[in-house]
Amino acid sequence: QEGSLCAQHCLNNLLQGEYFSPVELSSIAQQLDEEERMRMAEGGVSSEEYRTFLQQPSVNMDDSGFFSIQVISNALKVWGLELILFNSPEYQRLGIDPINEKSFICNYKEHWFTVRKLGKQWFNLNSLLMGPELISDTYLALFLAQLQQEGYSIFVVKGDLPDCEADQLLQMIRVQQMQRPKLIGEEAAQSRDQRLSRGDVDQAIEVNHPFDGTGMLDEDEENFQKALALSRQEIDMEDEEADLRRAIQLSIQGSRQSELSGSLPQNVPQSSHSSQTDSLSSEELRRRRQAYFEKQQQQLQQQDQTPNLKNKATLSSSTPEPGAGNDMSEEDMLQAAMNMSLESVRNHLNSEEEK
């Protein structure tokens, strides 16, 4: 719904088209006001009744967008349609089943909406809803009776309504509605209430359980702090392992580059080495690094099966022999660093599993 123009939406929903604008309805209301003024002037323009009438606001429209039943009735006369009061004693005595009618216009105070039959099904076309609401044939009479009990005035629309696409389509198919459409603003109001309620709960927790660093935490808060500490510890471990994996990958890359440089002739310029390295694709480098890393893992598994040999290998790889001095090659030093890194990771993981 746009503003308070429920009468305009009511008419357009009934006719299923943009047939009436606020300007057109205002023109009808002004015409009705002028006709009433002329009738009042017949009693004399100097009479007290006429002066009082001129001072009163229009009963056919107001600044909010409300239009009277007279405006709606006159607008429908253009289409050859007539309104009959459904909840009048005269109409009720006729005993007409509502299901045999075609449409209704309902009003309560300053709100108007349409109930219409499209195809073979009834729909509540209230402009305050997010969409049409399906009304079953068995529920229609109860729905209208409930509106009457709430104080609504119900009018039966008599005459032939203009053809519309919705009526033609629903003559061939039937609608199934799984969920009733919400009122405009209902979902936003619910989410706002939920946010307010969560804010009230947080405020109540803060008031009832203040934490200024001097008091002791209760059991739930203490468990929560422990969970946070464990999560931080796991994150730190993951970061350390990620850094270690990156270091190993960089070491493997450096080892591979040293192997390539060692296999080149001594008289080849450095630019030739760079061009050969650049000629290797990233996929080829990745496969070679992976093969090298798998080979190292196989060696570590063999060392795990023979603990004594593993200790000796670790000792010999991590500690240079006496008298060796600086004769250890760069590849041997890289291998020793890798073995020490992997051994520290394995020990760390074993200790965490035991915990």
Biggest CA-to-CA distance, the chain: 133
Q: What is the pLDDT along the chain (355 residues), one digit of tens a residue?
A: 555 678 899 999 999 999 998 889 889 999 998 888 888 888 787 788 888 878 888 888 877 778 889 999 999 999 999 999 998 888 888 888 999 999 999 998 888 999 999 999 999 999 889 899 999 999 999 999 999 999 999 999 999 999 999 999 999 999 898 888 888 877 666 666 666 666 665 665 555 545 444 444 456 666 656 655 665 555 555 555 555 566 566 655 555 555 554 544 444 344 444 444 444 555 666 676 667 667 777 777 776 665 554 444 444 444 444 444 445 566 666 676 677 767 766 776 677 667 6
Alpha helices in 150-281 (DSSP H): 165-170, 186-208, 219-263, 270-279
DSSP state of 214: S
Residue tagged active-site, from 111, 164, 273, 348: 111
Annotation says 326 is catalytic: no
pLDDT digits (tens, 9 = 90+) for 309-354: 444 444 444 444 444 444 556 666 667 667 776 776 677 667 766 7
The answer to whether the CB of 154 falls within 8 A of the CB of 207 is: no
Tokens of 310: 């593993």
Q: What is the CA angle 30-32-33, rounded to 5? A: 60
111 annotated active-site: yes
Instruction: Please pick, among 6, 13, 60, 106, the residue that the annotation labels catalytic.
Output: 6
Pick from 272, 260, 266: which is nearest to 331 by CA?
260
How long, in residues, is the chain? 355
Q: Respond yes or no: is residue 126 known to be catalytic.
A: yes
User: 76: buried, middle or exposed (CB in 10 Å: 19+, 13-18, 0-12)?
Assistant: buried
Token representation of residue 264:
């080149």
The catalytically annotated residue of 13, 60, 124, 126 is 126
Instruction: Tell me the domain boundaries of the chain.
Output: 6-186
> Mind listing the pLDDT tens digit for each residue in 74-122?
999 999 999 999 988 888 888 889 999 999 999 988 889 999 999 999 9
**Would you say 97 and 86 are in contact if contact means Cβ atoms under 8 Å apart?**
no
The single residue listed with the structure tokens 């999560």 is: 231
β-strand 153-158 against 133-135: which pairing, if any? unpaired
Q: What is the DSSP letter of 92?
A: H
CATH 3.40.50.2300 fits 6-186, yes or no: no
**Residue 16 to residues 104, 114, 205, Cα–Cα distance (Å):** 14, 11, 53
Overall pTM surpassing 0.85 (yes/no): no
